[in-house]
Amino acid sequence: MKPAKREGGRSSGEGAKKAQAIDRMEVGYSMSQAMAEASRCLLCHDPPCSKGCPAKTDPGKFIWKLRMRNVKGAIRTIKENNILGAICGVACPVERLCQKGCSAAGLDRPIEIGKIQRFLVEHAWACGFDPLEAGEPRKERVAIVGSGPAGLACAAALARAGVGATIFEGRERAGGVLRYGVPRFRLHDELLDRELEDVKKLGVELKLKARVKEVEELLERYDAVFVAPGLWQPRRLRIPGAELRNVATATELLGATRVDAASVQRVVRRKNVAVIGGGSVAMDAANTCKALGAGRVYCICLESLAEIPADRADLELALANGVVIKPHAQVSELVGRGGKVVGLKGCETEWVTPGSLLPSNARAVPGTEFGLKVELVIFAIGASSEPENRKLGPAKRDGLFKVKRDGVSTANPRLFAGGDATRGPALIVDAIADGKEAAGRILAALGVTGPEVAHG
């Protein structure tokens, strides 16, 4: 999953300060700051911000309620629509989703929707207000494979309808990409764990270190199964030197940093690092290396600066931290000595067909060859499904699960799938949307009426 994701409106100074504290998130809004920001909202009759949220969190409604001093109503709107509202407040690319069409931008700048959203959920925790309740217990039981955003959203929606939901997670801690793919300076464990508590309080059962190998066994024990294992097989370039020591992937770097930052710091500190890739995950890896005390950090990508797929906030943070971006460039070889990487070779590129941002469309520009002395190389070029996870559902040639046009149903009427395992690398809110959609389809298949959405 593109751990995709950001708070809007970060200044260069804020970004540089944040990257120096690997375990510290930016402080959230106070009540006065949230109210002041909400007061700038134009209260659109047909708010474009609400149309821009894949998870249908409905920012137009919760900002309006906050403006009207109905704080509990604003909180209720968020949590009923998005069980991971605080996480999305800090981890969504709001500048290209809900804030993109904000009408206030025509007068000044977009409303800081993510920061307001985070504040409201954190305020609910601080004052002990919980707007969600589990439904009246029913006999139906559903198994969910994966505790990432899709699995959590599905489980919460089922529990609110009274259906027993059990999540099976192969790792030691829950959260999926939220736990192991997002740096702590953007999403701290405390916030993640607190949002997980909201899911568990609904009665969701969470089984950790319980890797599912065969879905048929679950189908025998449960009325329906939702598989959302994510993508955990990081891709590497097939170039000479790719198997040298001190060559890793962004998945490995970010996951290891979440588990033991001190050990990773001993590997990264004072080393020159090359991150290959131009997406938000690549910027996360580059910024993490900077925060861990790396020397020079390069980010090498095929795209131009205008085309780079990373969210603007992530790119600006990297630039503020001194990351050297090498656009329209391609690495052709990793140079080793004694089995360790000591450098790389590459050249500048151009697109054969302008606008087609595919590796196969890039060609080398003669005479632009370059070399860099680096002691650590990080591949950040995406991920695919782990081979064992492909057995959990009907897989296509690319390893992703085959689903129907609704995005979550499979040929088996009791088996559903969603998240990155069906879409490919996507956003956290896309996974949440899949989880909600799957829950709705499961409830319909079981003949269960979902929870009423309160409006107060």
Superfamily of domain 28-127 in the CATH hierarchy: Alpha-helical ferredoxin (1.10.1060.10)
Q: Domain segments of the chain: what residues?
A: 28-127, 141-232+385-446, 234-382
Classify each residue of 95-124 as buried b or exposed e, where b means 16 or more C-beta atoms within 10 Å of its C-beta. Answer: bebbbbebebeeeeebbbbbbbbbbbbbbb
106: helix, coil or strand?
Answer: helix
**Confidence band (pLDDT; 50, 70, 90) for 12?**
very low
pTM: 0.91
**Confidence band (pLDDT; 50, 70, 90) for 450?**
low
**CATH of segment(s) 141-232+385-446:** 3.50.50.60
pLDDT tops 60 at residue 452: no
Q: Cα separation of 33 and 50, whole Å?
A: 21
Tell me the CATH number of domain 234-382, given options 3.30.70.100, 3.20.20.60, 3.40.50.720, 3.50.50.60: 3.50.50.60
Residues β-bridged to residue 245: 340
Predicted confidence (pLDDT) per residue in 201-212, tens digit:
999 999 999 999
- How big is the CA angle at 371 (ends 367 and 373), to the nearest 5 degrees? 170
Give the pLDDT of residue 262.
93
Give the pLDDT of residue 9.
34
Q: What is the DSSP-derived secondary structure letter of residue 256?
A: H
Q: Do domains 141-232+385-446 and 234-382 have the same CATH topology?
A: yes
Residue 388 Cα distances to 210, 212, 399, angstroms: 14, 9, 10
- DSSP codes of every residue in 194-236: HHHHHHHTTT-EEE-S-----HHHHHHHSSEEEE-----EE--
Q: Cα separation of 257 and 53, whole Å?
A: 30
Strands 141-145 vs 224-227: parallel, antiparallel or unpaired: parallel
**Confidence band (pLDDT; 50, 70, 90) for 7?**
very low
pLDDT tops 80 at residue 34: yes
* Average confidence (pLDDT) over 104-130: 96
Predicted confidence (pLDDT) per residue in 377-431, tens digit:
999 999 999 988 888 988 898 889 999 999 999 999 999 999 999 999 999 999 9
Give the pLDDT of residue 390.
86
304 contact partners, CB below 8 Å, separation of at least 6: 327, 328
